[in-house]
Structure 1
Amino acid sequence: MTLPVHCPVKGRAIPMRSVPDPVFAESMVGPGIAIDPDRAEGADTDAVAPVDGTVVTLHPHAFVVLTPSGRAVLVHLGIDTVKLKGEGFTLHAVKGETVRAGQRMITWNPAEVERHGYSPVCPVVAVEAKPEQLAELRESDEVEHGDQIFIWSA
């Protein structure tokens, strides 16, 4: 069974190894790709669900959606953004909610994150997957909300 994973933020897809955090760069949580988000000056942007499922973890800076098949996808909005303590992030979902791919989850401002001294790069992680389970990784393309960024095989 394959699971298409869709782009949660508009920007440029980059390899996970390029993320400026060893936990993500070394795929300790799982493999995936990252998105270097657009930083239109002063503009807020949405992060959307990458898959259909249930919100099992929700923080201002990150969320996890668990699919009906039991696979979890983590979206982390920036690196070390937990230190912002929610400032600049607006939640549009709640833990336990059933969501559809493309549904708005969080509004945030990548340029503002960068102004605070943090990287706005967004890892999209297939939690606890093996690297060989991911295919068709888009690691150098411009991507829009909803574009398929990789396929996760069971």
Structure 2
Amino acid sequence: MVFGLFGRKQPLKVLAPMTGEVKPIGEVPDPVFAEKMMGDGFCVFPDVTSAARVISPVDGEVANLFPTGHAVGIRTAGGLEVLVHVGIDTVKLQGKGFRILTAQGAKVTAGQPLLEVDLTAIQGDVPSLATPVVFTNLEEKQTWNLERQGPVEAGDAVATVQAR
């Protein structure tokens, strides 16, 4: 049996980190994400009227927590790194509108709140609220599928990653 990076044959389910509309990453209005310079993945265009909690899309450890609260990276037990980047150019807000609910190095479970974002407060200050979810270290022997597009609730399974 081949277990690959994840140490198992079962696919890893990836959840929507926010309520909104899931689209392919190529639809992110930023070339760094749309052209997959940081990795492949998908995007959530958040529902501004919903509660803006950002949840962990996978079980793992907080590997990268930006002090501004605009992005968080989770590393799964199998080593997959998943970046959730809330909005485009949100780093320029220097934390305005963001509240961090986790800590660097914390163990998190899929569905656990990581951040709170006041989307209505920040939407006029950034080019887009599009929230890329990027697999930053996929290897050739891994595949992933976007299994659901369109409207989703935070916590809905939308993608799977599996070793070939």
Q: TM-score, normalised by structure 2?
A: 0.86
Instruction: Say whether residues 1:137 and 2:147 are aligned partners.
Output: yes
- Alignment length (residue pairs): 151
Instruction: Say whether residues 1:45 and 2:52 are aligned partners.
Output: yes
2:117 — aligned with what? 108
Q: Note if contact 2:18-2:53 (Cα within 8 Å) is conserved in structure 1.
A: yes
Deviations 1:16-68 (A, max 9, x none): 1110111100111111110000011xx65100000000001012000001000
Where 2:84 maps in the other structure, the secondary structure is: strand
Query: Greater shift after overlay, 22-31 or 123-132?
Result: 123-132
Summarize the alignment of residues 16-27 of structure 1 with structure 2, pairs less than 5 Å apart.
16-27=25-36
Q: Note if contact 1:53-1:66 (Cα within 8 Å) is conserved in structure 2.
A: yes
Greater gyration radius: 2
Q: Which runs of 4+ in 1 moved over 4 A?
A: none
Structure 1, unmatched stretches of 5+, are none
| Matched letter for residue 132 of structure 2 | P
| Matched letter for residue 55 of structure 2 | V
Root-mean-square deviation (Å)? 1.6
The alpha-carbon distance between structure 1 residues 111 and 130, as it changes in their structure 2 partners (threshold 3 A), is farther
Q: Note if contact 1:113-1:119 (Cα within 8 Å) is conserved in structure 2.
A: no
Rounded Cα–Cα distance in structure 2 between residues aligned with 1:20 and 1:54: 29
Where 1:120 maps in the other structure, the secondary structure is: coil
Query: Greater shift after overlay, 126-135 or 144-153?
Result: 126-135
Question: Identical aligned pairs, as a percentage?
Answer: 38
The alpha-carbon distance between structure 1 residues 66 and 150, as it changes in their structure 2 partners (threshold 3 A), is same
Q: Note if contact 2:88-2:126 (Cα within 8 Å) is conserved in structure 1.
A: no
| Matched letter for residue 8 of structure 1 | P
Q: TM-score, normalised by structure 1?
A: 0.92
Where 1:133 maps in the other structure, the secondary structure is: strand
Instruction: Say whether residues 1:124 and 2:111 are aligned partners.
Output: no
| Matched letter for residue 135 of structure 1 | N
Where 2:62 maps in the other structure, the secondary structure is: strand
